[in-house]
Amino acid sequence: MKKYLIYLFTAFIGMSFLSQAVYAGDAAKGASLVAVCSACHGQDGNSPAGSFPNIAGQNEQYLLKQLMDVQSGDREIVTMTGLLDNYSQTDLENIAAFYASKERAYGAADPELVELGESIYMAGIERKNVAACVACHSPTGKGNGPAKFPALAGQWPEYTIAQLKAFQAGERHNDGESRMMRTTAMDMNEKEMQAVAAYIYGLR
């Protein structure tokens, strides 16, 4: 519970400092830049396969950060290697605005995992010091745009599990100096990851 409160406080502090940031992305212009993205993420950002994330309806600020991280090499995604090299900052802002403007598709939680998944999402795992997801990602999974915390609701379970494992292994490390996600995922086991991922898939 103590760790949950710390993360909740951090989320609100981050929002208060970043809420004045202006993102001037143009969704209409972004539409002309995403042809190469559609093969993996679908025409509207709802991907056809769980190995690729749904990015429709994602927070614009978070999307822009990820695009910038991929372009700079701070986040390594093999399937995106070189794809953003020739895009300007304005291009990335427009792409982020395009996908943020789309409606996300949602799934249904596995009934056998939903109770455990809800418990982890809403309260964390106290005995393991695993923070509650709700602190940063909101009770409905909409995230926190100004703080660059992603919307999770409706995300493919396969993708969520893959990211938790990547943070756990240190293969993904673009969660800032706080190491927030690496710390959260550190002691989660396979079943716990599957359960929270299933719950997130059905969240809305």
181's tokens = 């996600």
Q: pTM for the whole thing?
A: 0.88
Instruction: Work out the end-to-end distance of the chain between its first and last CA atoms, rounded to an integer number of angstroms.
Output: 24
The CATH number of domain 2-15+106-202, selected from 1.10.760.10, 3.10.450.50, 3.30.420.10, 2.40.50.140:
1.10.760.10
pLDDT digits (tens, 9 = 90+) for 16-64: 444 444 567 999 999 999 999 999 999 999 999 999 999 999 999 999 9
Domain residue extents for the chain: 2-15+106-202, 22-100
pLDDT digits (tens, 9 = 90+) for 141-193: 999 999 999 999 999 999 999 999 999 999 999 999 999 999 999 999 999 99
User: Could you give the C-alpha distances from 185 to 107, 174, 179, in angstroms and in order?
Assistant: 23, 14, 10
CATH superfamily of 22-100: Cytochrome c-like domain (1.10.760.10)
The answer to whether the 2-15+106-202 and 22-100 domains have the same CATH topology is yes
